[in-house]
Copies of this chain bind each other. A is one copy, B any other.
Amino acid sequence: MARLAVDVMLKPEILDPQGQAIARKLPQMGFEGIAGVRQGKRFELVVEGPADEAAVERVRKIADTLLANPVIETYEVHVLSDN
């Protein structure tokens, strides 16, 4: 079994009202020095078999199809563990 993560973020040119709301709130709560916040999604998948190139490719296909909207989002796939 392998564990892989898919991190999905809005493209930089897409407005992120959730992230902006958090960034606006921070100074009111005493947190200074944060220049920006973006909010995205993270998926953790347990894949049968080893965390090899084929597993990463399979997860990329799932991300393309189901987890990310390629019009407004980008994603990265990371291997978390392999055993």
Q: Which residue numbers of A lie inside 8 Å of B, CB to CB?
A: 1, 5, 7-9, 19, 22, 25-26, 29, 31, 33-49, 58, 61-62, 65-67
Residues of B within 8 A of A67 (CB): 22
Q: Contacting A48 at CB < 8 Å: which of B35, B45, B47, B48? A: B35
- Of the candidates A26, A34, A41, A49, the one having the most CB atoms from chain B within 10 angstroms of its own CB is A34
Q: How far is the CB of A47 from chain B (nearest CB, A)?
A: 6
Q: Across the interface, do A66 and B33 meet the contact criterion of CB distance under 8 Å?
A: no
Partner of A40 from the list B42, B49, B58 (CB cut-off 8 Å) is B42
| Distance, CA A22 to CA B49, complexed state (A) | 20
Q: How many copies does the complex hold?
A: 2
Instruction: State whether A25 and B58 are in contact (beta carbons under 8 Å apart), knowing that A39-B42, A44-B37 are contacts in the complex.
Output: no
Contacts A/B (CB < 8 Å), 5 sampled:
A9-B44, A26-B62, A31-B61, A33-B47, A37-B44
